[in-house]
Every structure is written in C-alpha cells, then in structure tokens.
Amino acid sequence: MNRTFKTDCIGYALFAILLLVVIPWAVSFDGFALNTYARYLALGMVAMALALSWGYAGILNLGQAVPFALGAYIMAMHLKLQASAHMPGGLPDFMGWTNVEALPWFWQPFHSLPVTLIAGIAVPVALAALLAVFMFRGRITGVFVAIITLAFLVAVQLVFIEEQRYTGGQNGLTGLAPLQLLGWRVDNYSTQFYYLVAVCLMTSLAIGLALVRSKVGLVLKAIREDASRVRFFGYDVARYETLAFCTSAAIAGWAGMLYVLVLEFASPTYMGVAFSLAIVIWCAVGGRESLVAAALGGIIVNLLEGRLSDMFVDGWTFFLGALFIVVVLVAPRGLFGLVQSAVRHAGKTIRSERGGARARWLATGMGARRIDNGGR
Amino acid sequence: MDAFLNQAFAGLSMASILLMVALGLAIIYGAMGVINLAHGEFVMLGAYSAWLLQTSLGLGILVALPIVFLMVALVGLLVERGVVRWLYHRPLDTILATWGVAILLQQLVRSVIGSESRYVAGPTILDGNLVLGGVVMSNYRIFLIFFSLAVVAATWFLLKRSEFGTKLRAVIQNKEISECYGIRADRVYALAFAYGAGLAGMAGALITPLVSVTPSMGTYLVVDAFLVVIVGGVGSLLGTVAAAGMVGEATAMFSMLMNDTIGRIAVLLAIIFLIRFKPMGLFPDKVRR
Amino acid sequence: MGHLELKNLSVQFGGLKAVNNLDLSVAQGELRCLLGPNGAGKSTTLDLICGKTAATSGQILFEGRDITGLSEHRRARLGIGRKFQTPSVFKELTVLENMEIARSQNPGILASGFVFRTHIRGRLKEVLELVELKDHVHTKAGNLSHGQTQWLEIAMLLIQDAKLILMDEPTAGMTIQETRRTGEIFNSLKGHHTMIVVEHDMTFVRQIAETVTVMELGALLAQGSIEEIENDPKVRAAYLGNEVANHA
C-alpha cells in the first residue's frame, strides 16, 4: 500500500495547488469567475462522492442526485426562512400563495443554522442508509442496484414536484437570504467564499482518501470483484457496502449545501434523471478508480459545458450524448486510466531499454492484464 | 359501475400500448441483458416517422406501419452495431451508453424537427365507438388491443417456431458453443435488437392518434415498459402479456382513485420492491441459467 | 463429540436430492478426505458447511454449536475457511492486498478503518516464504501463473488461520512436485486445523489421508482408512471400478 499512498499524496497536493493557487490566480481573483468555479468545485465534489461507491465498491448509484438535492433543499429551507422573517408568521411566500396557514413542523428546525448544517448531511445519510440496508441485505448487486436507485430518484423528484405547498414544486426555492456564518455574511461572489468551497472539497477528499486507503477500501475493492468470496473470510459485505453508500451520500449532501450557496436557489432539476446521470458521466470521464480524478472530471466537464454551451446551445447536448458513448466505449477508465497507461507505457519503454529478463516479464505481465467491468 | 368499467377499458387500452413497447424491451433485456434506456426514444422515433409519412406523403398510420417498423429497426440496427455490441459483457455500461444514445436521438429530433407538439390523425375507418351498456369503447382502442395481441403471437411464432428464434435461444443459452456450431451470434444479436427497436417504433406510430408527439415522449413510457418487463419475468412472453395487463389496469385504477402523480410514484415503488424481492420477475423462465 | 458434526443433513434442488440424510463427524485436528464419483454431493456438502447453500433439513454442529441457520460471514468468523474448486483470488488486487483481505481476524468496519499498511513480518512473512511469493508481493494476482495463483490461495487459507478448512480439489492443475509440496503443507497442518478435502487424485489422497469418507448419490457410502476403503466391495462397485482406475 506504500506506493499508492505516495501517488495519492502527490495527486492530492497537485490538486490542492490547482484549487487554492492556480485557479484563483488564473482568473485574477475576479468575483464572478470565482463564483463559476465554486460551482464547478461543488459539482466535482459530488462526482468524487460517486467514485467512492461506484469506483471502489462497484455500486453504480444512478440516484446520486438524491442526497445532493436533499442537502441543497435543506440549506435552501434555512435561507428561505431567513429571507421570510418579515413575512406574516415568518411564512415563505410560496406557502402564502398555496394557502398554507402555518409553517409545517418539518420546516421549523431549519430556523437554526447548526441544525441545518447537521441535517444537510444527516438526512441524506439516513435516507441512503435506509435504501442501502434494503438493497444490500437482500444481496442486490450490479444492474439491479442501478435500476432501484434510478426508480428511487424519479419517485423522490415526483414527490418534491407534487408537494408544491411545502417544496415550491416545479419552481423550487428561490429568493433566498445570504448565509450568516459566525457573524460573516457570506458573499458568494467573494474570494473568501471560493476558498470556503475549495476547503470543503479538499476536506471531503481527504476523508474519502482516508477511507479508501484504509483496509475498508481494500475490502470494498475485493467486494467489487467477488462479494461471496469476501463473505467467506468473515466480512459482513452488506455493512461495508452500506458504509460506502452512506459516506458517498454524506459528501453529496455537503456538496448540495454548497451548491445552493453558489447559485442562490434550489430546484427539482437537481434531482432530475438528466442531472443524476450527468454526475455518472463526470465521474466516468475523470476516472472512477481515483477520487481526485473523479473530482477533476466533474470540474473539467462542467468547465467545458460552461464554455461550449455559450457558443452553441444545441451543440452541447450532442456533445454530452457523444461523451457518454465515447467514454463508455473507448475509455471506460476515464482520463485517469489514459494517464495511467501512458505513464506505464513510458516506464515500460525505459525499462526495456535497460534490458533484462525481469523487465520483459513485467512488460508482458502488464500487457496481458485485462479489465473486466462485468456487473453481474 | 359504468365509471369503473370505462376505467377498466382505459386500463386495457393502456396495457395494449405498454405491451408493444415492453415486448421489444423484453427481447432486448431478456435475450441480451442490455438495459436499453434509449428504448423510449425508439418509440418517439416511430411516432415522428408516422407523422413524417403522413404530412409529407399523406400515408395513413396503418399503411405506414410496415415502413415505420423498418425505419426504426434500421436505427436500432445502427445503434447495436455502433454501440451496444461492444458492451455485451458489461451490462452496467449499457445503461450509460444507451442513455447517451437517448440524449443524442432526442436532441437530433429537437434540432431538426423542433420541440413543439405534433399531431397525427387516426385512421378514418376506425373512427367511432362501440357502446355496450354504459361503456363507451373507441374502435381504434379496440383495434389496438387486438393488434398488440397479434404482435405477441407473431413474436411468439418468431421466437419458438422459426429458425431465427431457435438460433436466438441457442445464443442466449451459450454464445460460445452456438458459435462453434456455425451460428453467427453477432448477427443474431443485431437482428434481435433491430426487431425490438422496430416493435417500439410500431408502438410509437400507433399511439400517435392518442397522445401528442414530442421529442421527450418516450422517457415516461420506458419506465412503465421496464416495470412490465420486470414484473413479467425475464424471457417469458406470456408473463409480459400478463404483466402489461396488470400494470395497465393498476395504473388506470390508481389514477381513478388518486391522482396521476401518486399513481406514478406507486408504480416506481412497485418496481423497487419487485426487483428487491423478485429480481427474476413474477413469471420467471423455468430454465436455470 | 466431533469438531464438526453433520446430522441428517439434506438439501434439495427442485426434484434432486443433492445431499440425502448425510451424517458425518470429523474430529478436532483431523484431515478427512471426501471421495465419490461426480455428482455424489461432495462439493454441495462443503457448500452446506460453509453456508453457500442453505440446508433443506438436518443440522450442522461446529464446536458443539448449531450453525445451520447462520450466514456465511458469521460461520467464517467462527473459524470455517473455504477454498473453491476454481482458484478464487482477487485478480485486481496485489498479492499483499489479497493476503490482507485473508488476514481477517478482525473483520469489522471499525477495525478495518484503522489499518493502512500491511507489514511483512511474523506469520505473514513465514507464509509468504513458504509459498515462495515473497518477491511478488506487489504483483497483481491476475498476473500470476496458474501454479502461483494456487499457492496464493493456499497462503490465504493459512493466514486466515481457520479452525476448520474446507478444500475443493486443492491440487487441480498442479504439477506433480507442486502437488507433493501441497501434501506436505497439509500434513503439517494436521493437529492444529481440522480439514475436509475433496480430491480425485488418489496419489495425493494416499499422501495425506487418515480417514476417508466415500459418498454416493448424496449419501454416505463407506468410511474408514484408505486400505479399508480400497478393499470395500461397495466402494469398488460404485466408484473404484471406473474412477480410480483412471486416476491412480
């Protein structure tokens, strides 16, 4: 495990430099640009969260947008209440329009910021745990997990749109107050705010790395390959899978809270099928086997989207569709896989120039390896 | 009582549409293990093909049906040859790739034809209603019910009695051994996929008089069709028929008792529970694989 | 009272009784060979003991405790280890990582969360040296040769340190020398570990066996020392007549 630890540290340090130094410097600390990048970072964070469950444990969660959107809505509920303080009964405007008389009980706790911050992570985790126990105790794997999470996603979105009185329906939650954090009025176009998001991403990444580099990550990788064999060594597979699923949900909820601060509204599109599958493709583009790469994938694809969709509106959708197909067909391991094989190839050339039977043995060994991503 | 019977007929009519959409999906999923998220887009392409043939050549739906079948089957063939065939050993990745195909096809239609709703006239010979007591049944919907059963019968014949069907079942059982006996598994898969796509296209053409045609019309249908396939069980045609009936009636009854959204949520929860407890469906194929 | 006791154990797949009222008792530290023609229910018996297959009726007692209803990982935690017929190492993981998975004395999540590196020392070092994989610890298991893969799996069983080890044709595909060394390792484990070995290779069985159990059609046919078994007319009729003639 030592060598991977070293590459991790290097990757993490480079990523930190990119986020904390290069990006702010490249946009010359322009508030508007930093806000855009803060958005990309939040999306990179949710892509990284998916890599945790998909890349390591092989759990393809097509409903990754659910914990993200829950985090987003919870933060938006708090900010909406702050913005509605002057309204009669402190009632949010859309509730007034739909004749809701009093603030419903599940809105009440979100007056408090600490409760909001905890709930933004705890609620997605609780829901994920429920779903995870339901699925993994029944030994549901592969394609079936994908379908269950997809159906769950659509159901949750329908509930949020249907319950317009409490959720703002199709419009979502808009007209939010700025966040008051320890006396600091968070300005989402400021350099400080960008750094807040960047630090959150780096922290969640460190947590994720600690998890996957411990033996837990190893057991998850083993489960991905052959779950029943892992059971015969005494590991409770369902419990490990649940942990990966829930940690992923926690980080996604966290990212969702940041996303609302960036965009200043929450919308049911955050839990749409299109958005949720987009998360999967970001993760796949970056490379699901590496958390840093997945986060980068989220940032890069969204950066591209930002640039390309300005130029041609329809073109972007074509590009996204094509990206899905091309990545799956040509580079299922994403940019990370491409870089890795390039590095290996370079290493191989150097070593075989030195000659020696050992180098040749290694090279053929590498050449012979095949990756099978079979789901069942 | 009449209200109930009318709703029951509506459910039956919905079931007939679902059956045609699901039949194609059942073949693609059951035979090849491919989760085809672009199946709804095949339905949508079928609907647009019918619209195109009617507005440009003046062909009625029934006349256009074979042409629509071939057109969408051709698209299916292209998708299989271009994308799906590389992914038979990676079922999870078929979800992602076919979703990409779905995005492309939707955007293609949106860019070329536009996103506004289109309307297609039903066949005039099937205008009018059959009235039995208080139950009003449109002739076209009655036709759909019988037509969908005819399609099932034709598919059954194709799978169980034709040489192609024998080859397909051989390839499903064991691809390598079938190839040793000279069956070209690749071609069998491609044709099966194209047939499934063609069926979806035909279903799309047939529902045009009942719904408005939009680029995103397939998205909702694919979810229900998928439920039908799962309820019906992998590789069981009769199961698919029974499941289409059940899902159609259940949805109709739910929307009568409650509203449409809750009906849809109930359908989704049913999917989740079914997969969890009966991943092989309620009417599974008896053969152990 | 044996270390492992099967009482009236049966399992049914559809109409087929794969194991039929099987009674078996294996003593602590014993190495038991399980023989029988193909389809006799040997592998299924191992599946029943380790929990891969649930019994239709009957009882499995391990160290006097009824484990019939326990899930696989609970049985593994009690000390039942299993080697499968096809080599089942984790091909995507390195040799060392495979060993870390096998070193499963603390299989809980919390314990695993604080393990960050595998130190090659103590018993782990001994085992790696024994199977000659110490120089390949960072090689992916998928890149090992067939023989090395078999050794890795045996090493994983050793480091798992299960009290009861179930092995399904451990020497399949091995060379004669490798088979002999495997036999030596098994002989050295006698006394500390209880072992049940399903095997077709009679040379190997003669090398390791104390007591042999012969199964036919899911039921016990005969039991005794290797000589007794080879001279048993029932066994000859059912099994030795065709199978051993081919193997021995």
Number of helices (H), then strands (E), belonging to chain A: the values are 18, 2
Measured between CA atoms, the residue of chain C closest to residue A207 is C113
**pLDDT band, very low/low/confident/very high, at A235 (cuts 50, 70, 90):** very high
- In the block, tokens 């320890």 appear at A182
Domains of chain C from N-terminus onward? 1-79+163-248 (3.40.50.300), 89-161 (no CATH)
Mean per-residue pLDDT for C194-221?
Answer: 86
Share of chain C above pLDDT 70, in %: 96
Q: Give every CB contact of residue B67 below 8 A, 6+ residues apart in sequence.
A: B49, B53, B59
ipTM for the complex shown: 0.86
Strands (DSSP E) along chain C, which ranges? 4-13, 16-26, 31-35, 57-62, 65-66, 80-83, 164-168, 194-198, 211-216, 219-224
Cα B242 from Cα B232, distance rounded (Å): 7
Q: If you write DSSP's letter for every residue of A16-82 in order, what string do you get? A: HHIIIIIHHHHTTT-HHHHHHHHHHHHHHHHHHHHHIIIIIH----TTTHHHHHHHHHHHHHHHHHH
Nearest Cα to Cα of residue C245 among C215, C200, C211: C200
Binding-face residues of C in 115-154 toward A, CB within 8 A: 115-118, 138-140, 142-143
- In the block, tokens 């491409």 appear at A338
Q: Do A228 and C52 touch (CB under 8 A)?
A: yes
Q: If you write DSSP's letter for every residue of B105-170 in order, what string do you get? A: HHHHHHHHT-SS-B--PPPGGG-SEEEETTEEEEHHHHHHHHHHHHHHHHHHHHHHTSHHHHHHHH
Are A82 and A177 a contacting pair, CB within 8 Å? yes
Q: Give every CB contact of residue C14 below 8 A, 6+ residues apart in sequence.
A: none
pLDDT at residue B32, as a whole number: 79
Nearest Cα to Cα of residue C152 among C137, C169, C168, C173: C137
Shortest Cα–Cα distance, A70 to chain B (Å): 18
Chain A residues touching residue B90 (CB < 8 angstroms): 332, 372-375
Q: Do A162 and B95 touch (CB under 8 A)?
A: no
Domain B2-277, architecture per CATH: Orthogonal Bundle (1.10)
pLDDT at residue B194, as a whole number: 93
Q: Tens digits of per-residue pLDDT, C158-182? A: 888 888 999 888 887 788 888 888 8
Domain that holds residue A141: 29-273
Are B237 and B152 a contacting pair, CB within 8 Å? yes
- Calculate the CA dihedral of residues A59, A65, A67, A70 and round it to 10 degrees: -170
The enclosing H or E element of A181 equals strand A180-181
Give the number of beta-carbon pairs within 8 Å between A and C. 97
Of the segments A206-210, B159-163, C54-58, which one has the largest average pLDDT value?
A206-210
Whether A219 maps to a domain, the answer reads: yes
Enter the pTM of the model: 0.86
Total domain count for chain A?
Answer: 1
pLDDT at residue C1, as a whole number: 66
pLDDT at residue A203, as a whole number: 95
pLDDT at residue B224, as a whole number: 80
Cα A32 from Cα B227, distance rounded (Å): 46
Are A74 and A119 a contacting pair, CB within 8 Å? yes
The answer on pLDDT for A312 being more than 70 is yes
Nearest Cα to Cα of residue A366 among C142, C197, B92, C98: C142
Point out which residues pair with C222 in neighbouring strands: C214
Query: How many CB atoms neighbour CB B76 within 10 A?
Result: 30
- Calculate the CA dihedral of residues A82, A84, A89, A91 and round it to 10 degrees: -110
**pLDDT band, very low/low/confident/very high, at A69 (cuts 50, 70, 90):** very high
Question: What is the β-pairing status of strands C65-66 and C219-224?
Answer: unpaired
Whether A333 maps to a domain, the answer reads: no
**pLDDT band, very low/low/confident/very high, at C240 (cuts 50, 70, 90):** low
Q: Do C90 and A214 touch (CB under 8 A)?
A: no
Whether A110 maps to a domain, the answer reads: yes
Cα B43 from Cα B62, distance rounded (Å): 16
The answer on pLDDT for C247 being more than 70 is no
Share of chain C above pLDDT 90, in %: 6
Spell out the per-residue pLDDT of chain B, length 289, in tens: 777 788 888 888 888 988 988 888 888 887 778 888 899 999 999 999 999 998 888 887 788 889 999 999 999 999 999 888 888 888 888 888 998 999 899 989 988 888 888 888 777 777 777 777 777 778 888 888 899 899 989 988 888 888 888 887 787 777 778 777 777 778 888 888 999 999 999 999 988 888 888 888 887 788 788 878 887 876 677 888 888 888 888 878 877 777 778 877 887 888 888 888 887 777 765 443 3
Using the CB atoms, write b or e for A35-73: b if 16+ within 10 Å: bbbbbbbbbbbbbbbbbbbbbbbbbbbbbbbbbbbbbbb
Structure tokens at A298: 């989220």
DSSP A179: P
Mean per-residue pLDDT for A149-166?
Answer: 90
Point out which residues pair with B138 in neighbouring strands: B129
Whether A212 maps to a domain, the answer reads: yes
> Does residue A213 sit at the C interface (CB-CB below 8 Å)?
yes
Query: How many CB atoms neighbour CB B157 within 10 A?
Result: 11
Q: Do B91 and A324 touch (CB under 8 A)?
A: no
Structure tokens at B94: 């078929």
pLDDT at residue A37, as a whole number: 93
Structure tokens at B203: 């279903």
**pLDDT band, very low/low/confident/very high, at A369 (cuts 50, 70, 90):** very low
Which phi and psi (to 5°) does residue B122 adopt? -75, 170
Whether A287 maps to a domain, the answer reads: no
Cα A310 from Cα A304, distance rounded (Å): 10
Q: Tens digits of per-residue pLDDT, C140-152? A: 988 888 878 888 8
Residues of B with CB under 8 A from a CB of A: 33, 35, 83, 86-87, 89-93, 95-97, 99-104, 106-108, 110-111, 219, 223, 226, 230, 261-262, 264-265, 268-269, 271-272, 275-277, 279
The answer on pLDDT for C128 being more than 50 is yes
pLDDT at residue B285, as a whole number: 58
The answer on pLDDT for C56 being more than 60 is yes
Q: Which of C97, C101, C153 to mutate to test the interface with A (most CBs of A within 10 A)?
A: C101
Cα A141 from Cα A194, distance rounded (Å): 38
Structure tokens at A317: 């959708």
Nearest Cα to Cα of residue C109 among B289, A239, A77: A239
